[in-house]
Structure 1
Amino acid sequence: MHNTVDHAQRRPKVIVVCDSPTELAGVTEILSSQVSEYRTLTTHKDIEEVILKTQPSIIILARETVAKSVESYRLLAQSELLNYPHENILLCENKESGVAFRCCIKGIFTDYFIYKPMYENYRFKMILHNALNRTSDVNEVHKLREEHFGRIDENLKALIDDAANYHNKASDTLNSARESLDNHKGINQVQDQLLTELKNTHLAPLIDSLESQLKDSIDELQSRLKDKRFSIAELAAMLSEKDGALSVHNVKNEQEQNPKDHNKVNSSEPQSQTLNAKVEKSDIKVMVVEDNEFYREMVSRVLIDEGYKVISVGTGLEAIKLLKKQKFSVVLLDLFMPELDGYNTTKNLRNIPHCKQLPIIAISGNKNKDIIRKWATLGLTGYITKPCTKSSLLKAVEKAINQ
């Protein structure tokens, strides 16, 4: 009965555009836990009517294919119904994750989520939570972000402020140059005519071009800094020295670590001392395969600082190409990646002669043990559950190498 009421909301904050609401059981369950006002819609006429009357803050596209979702959104945009601030989230099947990823990179959608099959419920909760925050009261969200980022990374925050100040100062300088040109007069009519021609033909367009390039550069710089600030702040917290944030599992026996032994670990002295003394870390070549750029960089940096040789790639296809040419001591492999996921990457790697016994450590935030067990049949050495800590990451790598 609760879901029925939610689906019938007349002024929903969130709408779900779909072909069949019966296929959205998991999605609507999460929606109802975070949003009291949402509605699923199937016909274009109903969608237009609801958007026109209520202007929902979040539009979720979950049609049969990504192409159909894009087409639905395009029609709404062409009808000029979307000319107001809103977030749009694309839901898709696993086989279309690469297409969905590209749609988001191109800026068509704010984010995407794989709901067939629905592996990572918490990821969808986070996507929805962030979207709701961004579309709520701007001042409150701004305060929250300032407090969060300011506490974690003042330097990056200062860089963003410096970029904005630089933009303002440079704009003032260019405006002064324009005024100076306008006020400058020649000593006679011929000079006035030459100066006017020079200003209109060359100098003014040059100043306008410089100002435009400056604005675009500063905007992109600020955008990148904000993305980096947010991601590094999150990942720094994930890889902090608090061991309780990570669970390292041995896939072969799936036994939990002994809490007493776990408490004895000194986070300032990672388990690198347990590595076989005959093997020098500088001789150990580790590959990190992770599509999230900042997580990839963070994991790689931890391993490099520990003395390992590290090569990182962003896709399973890149990993396969590289492993066909080079030998590695161990591979850390993410589960969910565009184009080729961790399971199928492992499957392909096991067909490479020198990779049949290669230690592979799975990295995933996925909690579905059935998926991990299926993956483990291909020969995993272990898996690390995101988010992870520095000491637990090093311990997993050392364990894989020693085995």
Structure 2
Amino acid sequence: MLLANTALLVAEATVYFTVMMALLHARRVIGIGVFMCALGVMHFLETYLASVYYVETPVGIISPGSTVLFSGKLLMILLLYIREDALVARQPIYGLLIGNFLIVALVMLLRNHDTVGVVGGRVPDIGFVDEMGWLMVWGTSLLFIDSIAIIVLYERLGKWLGRHLYLRFLICGAVVLTFDQAGFYLALRYVSHVPIEVFFGGWAAKMAATLVYTLFFTIYLKFFDDETSWLTNRSFKDAFQILTYRERYEDLLQVVNRDHLTGAFHRRHYDTYAPDVLKSGLEQSNPVSFLVIDIDYFKAVNDRLGHQTGDEVLKTIARLLQENLRSEDHLYRYGGEEFVLICDRMDGEAAFALAERIRRIIERFSTIYLPEKATVSIGVASAPEDGRTIRALFEKADSRLYQAKSSGRNKVIGPAA
């Protein structure tokens, strides 16, 4: 009986892997949605089998639902990520989570119906539905954590294991399924009072399932696909941010913190974060330079040509500024026609050269493309020579800007002037 049960489990894993990998392999033809639907439709069966359906094997008492179906699902999500990317993989992760919370919400409403008996001797077992619903929510919550963890761990292991695709797959499965077994057993213990033997037997079975699925994956790549096309070089941090929608949050922050007209960071962002940029630079003994940039005679442009033209001039100059930034630079619209550019790791001489280049670019571009020639005056200050605080540096750069305007405009005044 023990060997027969083991053989059946291997057969079930073989069928599961074969069908799911066929769907994943054919996703370009039939669509990725087919794979995702097949992945999700078995979730109720997985939970039911994991809670009440056990068989005896050489490693102990186990559930096929947990050993074959759940382990397979988690590893399939990892394979989906490897073959596609985090944007695609997060769809079934969040879909399963939301779907199972929806089930519980609907059950809470359904239980309030007054039911009638239609089939003799058959009545709805609301207690069983409640139990299954909460187990599904708990199991899906674990799956949510498992899925993110296994993907991030896979990328983290890439730092040490590199091209050892199968070893990374095996280790990720073993580690995360160990965590999952502990988490789901706690729920089973609370709901069904299952004995501790189920935990140890289930853990051993999941480790065996990981080995079997890794073997199947190896065979698949050897005969049906090219291993090199599965190798990825992605950042585990980036994967985590996408899986948790962190990148959407970062995008939202970028939108919220930017001036809608020019695309530069606005004054509030300057007040909040500019001190941190300066502090970080000084702590690392890096020079930090400030450029205060003002558009010459901008009020006259608004008065003669109208505010719409003035806005176009502002947007154009802001775009030219942004096109000349490095990744270490931070551009702010400080107010009206005035911008502040903070350049981390740039000394006064280099900042003066940058300011002079910006001045010439704007003058040359505006002469050709803008309805009226526009120029800028720029004051430059650098830390630590000109100060060690945001206020001191701004005041020094603003003072030099005033000198530039007083001496005829369209000039740069700075430490190297």
Q: Decide which structure has the larger Cα Rg and report it.
A: 2
**TM-score, length-scaled by structure 1:** 0.23
TM-score, length-scaled by structure 2: 0.23
Judging by fraction of residues, say which structure has more helix.
Answer: 2
